[in-house]
């Protein structure tokens, strides 16, 4: 607790000393002035990804309400599965590779990919299970928690950082949209594959 307080005071101290240096403040704002105008609203790439995040959150809430009904649980999980399968694929195929060269720490992208792999592993296990299985709910709950953690990191760290770079968010947004429609049609059109 004391350590936390110390870090806080240290932080505010360093930020105030930084802002007192007019020279560094102006050079800093100069390099980011153009980029700070990018908001989630004016950025079609992360806007699309965040819409997906909200859709999945909604589905997990519906799952909670359906707990007494195995058929409904399975139907909702199928929707969660499809949403997440398409979302992780478009991020891995398009958004992560496009943003990787622009972010400061590539480790952040690596972590995101590893988290996707863990989520997909759990999704595959659930796909093979019956909703009556005593571990079905527990696995869905753990999947939900994993996704919540992942989404928080994307929305609080990854996406805001990307918006400050000169990555072409419009072009990437368009690619994400086209690929998403393609994959949704493929998955919705028949799951034989």
Q: Shortest Cβ distance from residue 180 to Fe ion (Å)?
A: 12
Q: Shortest Cβ distance from residue 153 to Fe ion (Å)?
A: 9
**Minimum CB distance to Fe ion smaller for 13 or for 54:** 54
HSE of 23 in the Cβ direction (CA atoms, 13 Å)?
A: 0
Q: Shortest Cβ distance from residue 134 to Fe ion (Å)?
A: 29
Question: Which residues from 122-151 bind Fe ion, rule CB under 5 A?
Answer: none
Does residue 91 interact with Fe ion by CB under 5 A?
yes
Q: Shortest Cβ distance from residue 154 to Fe ion (Å)?
A: 5
User: What is the Cα–Cα distance from 120 to 114, expressed in whole angstroms?
Assistant: 10
Q: Shortest Cβ distance from residue 150 to Fe ion (Å)?
A: 5
Segment interacting with Fe ion (CB under 5 A) among 44-52, 67-75, 126-134, 169-177:
44-52
Segment interacting with Fe ion (CB under 5 A) among 58-66, 101-109, 141-149, 152-160:
152-160
User: What is the Cα–Cα distance from 36 to 25, expressed in whole angstroms?
Assistant: 15
Q: What's the full length of the chain, in residues?
A: 193
**Minimum CB distance to Fe ion smaller for 93 or for 137:** 93
Does residue 43 interact with Fe ion by CB under 5 A?
no
CA angle 13, 104, 18 (to 5 degrees): 20
User: What is the Cα–Cα distance from 97 to 82, expressed in whole angstroms?
Assistant: 22
Q: CB pairs under 8 A, 24+ apart, for 14-21?
A: none
Contact 85, 187 (CB under 8 A): yes
For binding to Fe ion (CB under 5 A), which residues are involved?
Answer: 49, 91, 154
């Amino acid at each position: 607790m004391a350590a936390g307080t110390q870090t806080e005071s240290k932080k505010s101290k360093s930020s105030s000393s930084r802002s007192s240096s007019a020279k560094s403040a102006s050079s800093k704002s100069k390099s980011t002035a153009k980029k700070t105008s990018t908001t989630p609203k004016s950025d079609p790439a992360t806007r699309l990804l965040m819409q997906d995040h909200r859709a999945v959150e909604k589905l997990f809430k519906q799952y909670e309400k359906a707990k007494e009904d195995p058929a409904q649980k399975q139907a909702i999980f199928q929707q969660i599965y499809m949403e997440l399968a398409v979302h992780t694929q478009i991020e891995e195929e398009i958004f992560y590779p496009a943003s990787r060269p622009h972010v400061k720490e590539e480790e952040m992208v690596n972590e995101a990919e590893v988290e996707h792999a863990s989520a997909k592993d759990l999704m595959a296990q659930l796909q093979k299970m019956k909703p009556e299985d005593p571990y079905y709910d527990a696995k869905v709950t753990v999947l939900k928690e994993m996704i919540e953690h992942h989404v928080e990191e994307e929305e609080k760290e990854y996406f805001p950082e990307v918006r400050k770079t000169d990555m072409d968010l419009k072009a990437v947004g368009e690619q994400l949209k086209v690929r998403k429609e393609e994959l949704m049609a493929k998955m919705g059109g028949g799951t034989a594959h």
